Amino acid sequence: MSGTVRLFRGSTPVEGLQPDDRGFRYGEGVFETMRAHRGAVPWWPAHWQRLARGAARLGLPLPPPGMALAEASALLAGGNAVLRLQLTRGGGGRGYASPGTAEPTWVLSLHSLPPVPAGEGLRLRWCGLRLAAQPALAGIKHCNRLEQVLARAELDTGEPADEGLLLGPEDELVSAIAANVFVLRGGEWLTPPVERCGVAGVCRGWLLEQGLARVQRLSRGDVEAADAVVLTNAVRGILPVVRLGARRWEPHPRMRMLRQALAAAHPAFVDPDLETA
């Protein structure tokens, strides 16, 4: 399924990407990575809302909303997949000044669902890289992702790990590399704020809206002392963590409850890997 892709400039389908695209030149864009289930994207409204928030922050025009959804549905053709939507400023201008006239580039692409993690949950490590604090870009899913790429490369060597945890400049917990993080403490699920670093994940947003978790500043020690830890993202839902360096966690009943709540709301997450975790 990988490689299925459609490109647009404004409301016009186009064949290829121009080398002067400001997404390519400066990462001037935003993207969404979505879980599609039987041809639909249950969280489409939340993804679109975040895309719009990011586009507004960067001053980018949005693709025509109805057209984007129709093209996404056509591309999905009833299947289960990961759907990616990237929006950039479009072409023009050598320098940092955005050309006011550029029509936005947007790209839809289909990708295979990620493999189900082996074992009872994820093995994590702390990343050495610290995320920088940039309130002007925090929360949105922009295309300046070198920090995440560098953090992910750390996992290629050393003790095997499925994901890495990232701290901010004040040693505060921010997130995993491609997921938000929730820790269970005193019977509550807590997740760090995203006003200075990190991305406001769609699955994270759902858990907060449902009142199943709340935002709180957390330290490295808070994670290690937690009763349970899960990672969340919009593609994989809620993933239990079994290990962080030397720290081990047994499956926790509250973890199972959280995942069942998600599966009840979103059929995409009623999957064998969730049922047997």
Binding interface with its own copies (CB under 8 A): 2-3, 5, 7, 15-28, 31, 33, 58-59, 82, 84, 86, 88, 94-98, 107, 109, 111, 129, 132-134, 136-137, 142-153, 155-156, 169, 177-178
Least distance (Å) between residue 198 CB and its own copies: 13
Least distance (Å) between residue 101 CB and its own copies: 14
Looking up tokens 């997404």, which residue turns up? 23
196 — alpha (psi -120 to 50), left (phi > 0) or beta?
alpha
What is d(CA 48, CA 69) in angstroms, rounded to the nearest whole number?
10
Beta bridge partners of 91: 21
Q: Which is nearer to its own copies, 3 or 158 (CB)?
A: 3
Q: Which is nearer to its own copies, 142 or 204 (CB)?
A: 142
Q: How far apart are the first and last CA of the chain?
A: 27
Q: Which is nearer to its own copies, 146 or 246 (CB)?
A: 146
Q: Which is nearer to its own copies, 31 or 206 (CB)?
A: 31
* Interacting residues of 56 by C-beta distance below 8 A, sequence separation 6+: none
Q: Which is nearer to its own copies, 148 or 191 (CB)?
A: 148
Phi, psi dihedrals of residue 26, rounded to the nearest 5° = -130, 5
Least distance (Å) between residue 244 CB and its own copies: 19
Least distance (Å) between residue 267 CB and its own copies: 23
Least distance (Å) between residue 225 CB and its own copies: 28
What sign has the CA pseudo-torsion 151, 152, 154, 158? positive
Question: How far lies 136's CA from each of 28, 89, 156, 181, 197, in Å?
Answer: 14, 17, 31, 22, 9
CB 121 within 8 A of CB 161: no
What is d(CA 148, CA 126) in angstroms, rounded to the nearest whole number?
13
Q: Which is nearer to its own copies, 91 or 121 (CB)?
A: 91
Q: In what order do the strands lie in the sheet with 4-9?
A: 12-14, 4-9, 105-111, 81-88, 29-36
Least distance (Å) between residue 2 CB and its own copies: 8
Least distance (Å) between residue 200 CB and its own copies: 17
What is d(CA 233, CA 267) in angstroms, rounded to the nearest whole number?
15
Q: Which is nearer to its own copies, 143 or 218 (CB)?
A: 143
